[in-house]
Amino acid sequence: MKYVVGIDIGGTTVKNGLFDENGTLLEKWEVPTVKTDNGAHILEDVAAAVRGKLEARGIGLCDVLGAGMGVPGPVEPDGHVSLCPNLGWRDYRPESVLSELLDGIRVKAGNDANVAALGEAYKGAAAGVDNVVMLTLGTGVGGGIIVGGQIVAGEHGAGGEVGHIVVNPDEELVCGCGNRGCLEQYASATGVVRVAKRLLERTNEKSSLRMIGEFSAKTVFDEAKAGDALSKKAVDTLCRYLGLACSYIALTVDPETFVIGGGVSKAGNILTDGISAYYERFTHIIPKKATFKLATLGNDAGIYGAAKLVM
Amino acid sequence: MKYVVGIDIGGTTVKNGLFDENGTLLEKWEVPTVKTDNGAHILEDVAAAVRGKLEARGIGLCDVLGAGMGVPGPVEPDGHVSLCPNLGWRDYRPESVLSELLDGIRVKAGNDANVAALGEAYKGAAAGVDNVVMLTLGTGVGGGIIVGGQIVAGEHGAGGEVGHIVVNPDEELVCGCGNRGCLEQYASATGVVRVAKRLLERTNEKSSLRMIGEFSAKTVFDEAKAGDALSKKAVDTLCRYLGLACSYIALTVDPETFVIGGGVSKAGNILTDGISAYYERFTHIIPKKATFKLATLGNDAGIYGAAKLVM
């Protein structure tokens, strides 16, 4: 039996998984992300933990096919990372560094959102599907594009940066990227709260949200499900802009399946139903439509996708 | 020396090219597209002409590596054509049919807009570039997406159908596809004329276009270059919506080069400069920008791309 290691590096913890060559997860563990010295120790800590887990199971590095890694920032096609503010890396080559720490095994790195998409296309909501797009709705909106089973990283590492698709050029508020009207401004956890607050401010409409001081994206979805009209409007805005953005993506790469993940996706079918209704309206030209599915791997999508990178 | 045949099937003529194995065009010719009997004779005529050209040069079919073919409609990944109204084909397998007519040589078919994009990425404006997007601005707006040197045809053959990206959801006029506000409604030859006519109708603004009864897209560009403010506005609308659509495409597949082709592209740099200015505004998140180039192969892009399909 041969083995593969999947590593998902986040800003606070690194998730790790040991897989067999068929992609079955044998064990997972976490190590803290120590960002001192510009993140120089992150991969040392990862390598030490990997060695420990392998030794405990009596597996030699010669039986490890490789290690894949998701990085929270752009990774160039040759593995170079120009800048990763979340980890402190600058002009860094995580593939070579980790490979050297693990006796020269094969290491492959990719952007975390892309790697999560690959994970869902490998063992998750879109298992076995070749053309998949994943949207991760969390604090921001991330995306990953899988064409023919491969990640589309793009020439400048911006493949799948769908959170910054300008869906509303008339927006007044500036997005973190400097633009106005990005998808992220409406479809992230903070976005849907902002949309609801704006509706509360600009209208006198009755809403159960008026009774609640500070509310979260979950509250907006819960109130919408309970029938609150204003909350429904905020959810509808999110679904409309996601449907519009997905139509743009489909008229570019035409996937079979869209996977919706991230914290916001816990809202469930209200989200996939809402998005796909708008999506169908905006893709008249495509006779057979893509399907929308909720992600199934949760926080493990990254380690599955990372493992797949070296399979 | 080995050879390749490139075939670009249009609604009125079929363009053909004989290439050597390095992609040098040795000879090109056309045959009329005879659409009787649901287009059953089109490939017979093509095959007869190919045989004639090869015999005249003393080349045997055994020295032909294959034939590629651009088709004016969607081609499924396995080569099946469900429906091609422009040719009369329905439930047709052009690859097998042509291969049988040419002693079993390898035949590969693709959508014509995708194949033209591959041609420009092979020997045209983006020669040698791996990640290329081509937009063809003609009667409609077509598109082709090249990722890693390969056409992205998509799961339902809608890859690169960028003409139907909804860039203006507030539009009142219905597009041919049934939607409102598609890119094609502003950025095609007919689109830019419509935009100019609308400006003439809705304002009293002076314009040299008012002296001209019926005008073409070329006239609008010529008057814009000559300084006519209203014509400039029409061109600006076209550039703005193209820039917006290209930003959507870039935030999905992030190409190195956008190639602008089709009849409208004869307007020249006014177009590429205008589009890229808006594009840069809508892609704040991408630090290094894609470049915009005018297509260089003209009507030959299809035969070059078709030849590349089998190389």
Task: Give which of B265, B304, B268 is closest to B124, Cα–Cα.
Answer: B304
pLDDT tens track for B11-52: 899 999 999 999 999 999 999 999 999 999 999 999 999 999
Question: Do both A150 and A287 map to the same domain?
Answer: yes
Q: Is residue A184 part of a domain?
A: yes
Query: Smallest Cβ distance to A156: which of B177, B247, B254?
Result: B254
Query: Smallest Cβ distance to B164: which of A130, A147, A251?
Result: A251
Residue A301, pLDDT > 90, answer yes
Question: Do both B137 and B278 map to the same domain?
Answer: yes
Contact at CB, B256 and A179, closer than 8 angstroms: no
Residue A286, pLDDT > 90, answer no
Q: Is residue A105 part of a domain?
A: yes
Query: Chain A residue closest to B241 (CA)?
Result: A169
At residue A63, the pLDDT reads 96
Query: Chain A residue closest to B77 (CA)?
Result: A148
Question: Do both B146 and B69 map to the same domain?
Answer: no
Q: Which run of H or E residues covers position A184? A: helix A184-187
At residue B73, the pLDDT reads 86
Number of helical (H) and strand (E) elements in chain A, helices listed first: 10, 12
- Interface TM-score (ipTM) > 0.85: yes
Query: Smallest Cβ distance to A252: which of B179, B253, B286?
Result: B253
Q: Averaged over A148-170, what is the pLDDT?
A: 93
**Cα gap B88→B217, rounded to integer Å:** 30
Residue A269, pLDDT > 90, answer yes
At residue A50, the pLDDT reads 97
Q: Averaged over B88-92, what is the pLDDT?
A: 94
DSSP state of A266: G
As for how many domains chain A has, the answer is 2
Question: Do both A268 and A133 map to the same domain?
Answer: yes
**Residues 6+ positions from A261 with CB-CB distance below 8 Å:** A116, A120, A125, A134, A135, A136, A137, A294, A295, A297, A298, A301
Query: Chain A residue closest to B285 (CA)?
Result: A177
Residue B284, pLDDT > 90, answer no
**Cα gap B192→B199, rounded to integer Å:** 11
Task: Give which of B267, B219, B237 is closest to B210, Cα–Cα.
Answer: B219
Give Cα separations from A211 to A215, B107, B145, B237 (angstroms): 10, 68, 50, 45
* Burial (CB count within 10 angstroms: exposed 0-12, middle 13-18, buried 19+), residue A213: exposed
Contact at CB, B251 and A165, closer than 8 angstroms: yes
pLDDT level of residue B77 (50, 70, 90 thresholds): confident
- The distance between the two most distant Cα atoms of chain A, rounded to a whole number of Å, is 68
CB atoms within 10 A of CB A311: 16
Question: Do both A290 and A305 map to the same domain?
Answer: no
Give Cα separations from B229 to A226, B132, B264, B266 (angstroms): 54, 33, 19, 20
Residue B104, pLDDT > 90, answer yes
Which residues 227-286 in chain B show a CB within 8 A of chain A? 244-245, 247-256, 281-286
> Taking CA A167 as the corner, what is the angle to CA A298 and CA B240, rounded to the nearest 5 degrees?
140
Question: Do both A305 and A222 map to the same domain?
Answer: no
Q: Tell me how long chain B is.
A: 311
Say yes or no: A148 contacts chain B, CB-CB below 8 A.
yes
Bridging pattern class, strands B141-147 and B150-151: antiparallel
Q: Is residue B30 part of a domain?
A: yes
pLDDT tens track for A188-231: 999 999 999 999 999 999 999 999 989 999 999 999 999 999 99
Query: Smallest Cβ distance to A251: which of B165, B281, B283?
Result: B165
Contact at CB, A254 and B290, closer than 8 angstroms: no
At residue A149, the pLDDT reads 95
At residue B76, the pLDDT reads 85
Which residues of chain A are within 8 Å of residue B169 when distances are taken between CB atoms? 244
Average pLDDT for chain B: 95
Query: Smallest Cβ distance to A152: which of B158, B169, B253?
Result: B253
Cα dihedral B179, B183, B189, B192 in deg (nearest 10): 100
> Taking CA B96 as the corner, what is the angle to CA B33 and CA B40, rounded to the nearest 5 degrees?
30
Residue A18, pLDDT > 90, answer yes
At residue A287, the pLDDT reads 80
At residue B282, the pLDDT reads 95
Q: Averaged over B128-146, what is the pLDDT?
A: 95
Contact at CB, A164 and B249, closer than 8 angstroms: no
At residue A86, the pLDDT reads 84
At residue B139, the pLDDT reads 87
Say yes or no: A162 contacts chain B, CB-CB below 8 A.
yes
Contact at CB, A131 and B148, closer than 8 angstroms: no
Average pLDDT for chain A: 95
pLDDT tens track for A49-104: 999 999 999 999 999 999 999 999 888 888 999 888 889 999 999 999 999 999 99
Question: Do both B51 and B157 map to the same domain?
Answer: no
Contact at CB, B161 and A287, closer than 8 angstroms: no
Domain with A158 in it: what CATH number? Answer: 3.30.420.40
**Residues 6+ positions from A294 with CB-CB distance below 8 Å:** A125, A259, A260, A261, A265, A268, A269, A271, A272
Strand partners, A136: A142, A261
Question: Do both B108 and B138 map to the same domain?
Answer: no
CB atoms within 10 A of CB A94: 25
Question: Do both A264 and A139 map to the same domain?
Answer: yes
Contact at CB, A161 and B285, closer than 8 angstroms: yes
pLDDT tens track for B211-251: 998 999 999 999 999 999 999 999 999 999 999 999 999 99
CB atoms within 10 A of CB B106: 15
Q: Is residue A22 part of a domain?
A: yes
CB atoms within 10 A of CB A31: 17
Question: Do both A183 and A78 map to the same domain?
Answer: no
**Which domain covers residue A251, as residue numbers?**
129-295
Task: Give which of B95, B70, B89, B90 is closest to B297, Cα–Cα.
Answer: B70
At residue A77, the pLDDT reads 83
Which residues of chain A are within 8 Å of residue B285 when distances are taken between CB atoms? 158, 161, 164, 177, 179
Which residues of chain A are within 8 Å of residue B156 when distances are taken between CB atoms? 254, 286-290
Q: Is there a contact between B255 and B249 (Cβ–Cβ < 8 Å)?
A: yes
- Residue A209 C-alpha from the chain's centroid: 29
Residue B210, pLDDT > 90, answer yes
Q: Is residue B222 part of a domain?
A: yes
Q: Is residue B124 part of a domain?
A: no
**Residues 6+ positions from A285 with CB-CB distance below 8 Å:** A251, B158, B161, B164, B177, B179
Nearest Cα of chain B lies from the Cα of A287 at a distance, in angstroms, of 8
Buried/exposed code over A158-180 (b: 16+ C-beta within 10 A; e: otherwise):
bbbbbbbbbbbeeeeeebebebb
Which residues of chain A are within 8 Å of residue B287 when distances are taken between CB atoms? 156
Q: Is residue A147 part of a domain?
A: yes
Question: Do both B202 and B90 map to the same domain?
Answer: no
Query: Smallest Cβ distance to A155: which of B156, B254, B285?
Result: B254
Question: Do both B114 and B181 map to the same domain?
Answer: no
At residue B131, the pLDDT reads 97
Long-range Cβ contact pairs of B212-218 (< 8 A, separation 24 or more): B216/B189, B217/B189, B217/B190, B217/B192, B217/B193, B217/B263, B217/B264, B217/B267, B218/B266, B218/B267
Q: Is there a contact between B190 and B176 (Cβ–Cβ < 8 Å)?
A: no
**Cα gap A73→A156, rounded to integer Å:** 12
